[in-house]
Amino acid sequence: MDETLTLSLTELTGQLRARKVSPVELMGAVLERIDETNGDLNAFVAMRDREALVADARDCEERIQRGEARPLEGIPLGVKDLEHAEGLPNTEGSLIYKDRISDHDDIHVARLKAAGAIVIGKTNAPEFGHTAVTKNLVYGVTRSPWNLERTPGGSSGGSAAAMAACVCPLVTASDGGGSIRIPASFTGTFGLKPSYGRVPRGPIAHWDYDETSCYGPLTKTVEDAALYLDQVAGPSPYDPKTLPAPGLSYADALGEALPSGLRIGFSPDLGYAVVQADVAAAVEEAVGVFDKLGHRVSPLQSGPPWMGRHWGLLGLFELAARLHEYLPDRESEMGRAFIAGVKTGWEMTPERWRSIGDQRVELNRWCAETFERFDLLITPTVPYDPPPAKGPFPAETEGRPQPVAGVASFTIPFNLSWHPAATLRVGRSQLGLPIGMQIVGPRHREELVLQAALAFQRERPWHPDWPTRWSDGGR
């Protein structure tokens, strides 16, 4: 493997601008790495023409030589297969869309391209992003480079596997209930779900009302995430739910010191999560880093309402509305577990809609009170080790039953509440698999979350420890 691919995004952009690495050489290394790894990982599921990619890389090289380099000039980019990239398939992991080719870029993809990135192909995702295990009937199963028998998570599983295995230096990801943070935690990468509306979505084909899904960075390091966010944040007329421009550079904000004496709330379980013992111990030990840095870490006295079942029904109701025209005639083209879930969307009633709204108000009240007392909140990211590559999720952990959607016990609340939340690697479990810690900030304070994550990264760096070699795991 070309050692250039082990560099972080910010390291690599510096090397490109300094002409120590050429975009053409980088593109060749990425394409060779995909060839080496995809039989095992299945991270990339569709690719652009290779001659066109090399031609694009030459154009970037000429721009660098002229002194006109953009922030991501010549960086290969993998786009998650729930998102549009012009000229590439957009199957959303479903056979009903297996022949669909995008005729446009999603807004954030267009912004990354405008910053100099070169879209090379699509990364795998579960059918319509409905689960945290990445497999589908179109492209099959994606596996973790840490252990090929395990999942890299979902729904951004292909992107996470490609990032952790040093296949591609830049990928897209999205998060409606943990789909950035769960795979980032499972693969030891850094992931940030921004405040709802920070990064524009669309142009959208269907209006949604659950308002939980966000685009955000899934990267090797905190600095990489800030660079990514600087390129994509800001309003778009195609998405009326986007926030105004943040009024700062996230990369510049990382040059400022984390404010001193922060009040940090810590909860090992939010009052309901069932957490694997070694995961709990690793996160509790990692929280001590902030004590060491002079911040005040205190336990939370109460947790938010657990809305896993309601969150699931809300999302499935939206999917049922979107897919009803294909049912029942094309039901056989969809995964059994997926279609069974979609059918529960018909269980939505006015009473249940009201109940979800009432609980979301209660969640918002809890968040408001929590962030009056604390500047940041820390929890584990995922309560247990990654499940098998094909699933299922565990029904219990160490003899204790898991709640509905237990894999997302710590992530779902902050999709529903719209708070920024990041995950970073704090160690490995007894099985040698990465463990993630979640840092949650007040709404619209991505820069504070990033500064806290960077402070931890400097004390406990994980880069460049990446799984670049593996055995076949006995498959």
Q: Are 214 and 243 in contact (CB under 8 A)?
A: no
Q: What per-residue string of b and e applies to 412-428 under the rule 16 or more CB within 10 Å gives b?
A: bbbbbbbbbbbbbbbbb
CA–CA gap between residue 372 and residue 388 (Å, rounded): 40
| From 179, 213, 409, 417, the catalytic residue | 179
DSSP 415-448: HHHT--EEEEEEEE-TTS-EEEEEEE-STT-HHH
The backbone torsions φ and ψ at residue 179, rounded to the nearest 5 degrees and listed phi first, read -75, -10
User: Of 104, 185, 94, nearest to 380 (Cα)?
Assistant: 185
Task: Examine the residue annotation and report whether 155 is marked as an active-site residue of this protein.
Answer: yes
| From 8, 80, 135, 159, the catalytic residue | 80
Amino acid identity, residue 312?
Answer: G
The span from the first CA to the last CA of the chain, in angstroms, equals 23
CA–CA gap between residue 385 and residue 396 (Å, rounded): 12
Task: Examine the residue annotation and report whether 80 is marked as an active-site residue of this protein.
Answer: yes
Residues 363, 309, 317, 218: is their CA dihedral positive or negative?
Answer: positive
Residue where the block lists tokens 């769960």: 182
CA–CA gap between residue 212 and residue 219 (Å, rounded): 21
Residue 452 CA, chain-centre distance (Å), reads 18
Task: Examine the residue annotation and report whether 179 is marked as an active-site residue of this protein.
Answer: yes
CA–CA gap between residue 43 and residue 168 (Å, rounded): 10
| From 155, 156, 174, 195, the catalytic residue | 155
* Active-site amino acid positions: 80, 155, 179
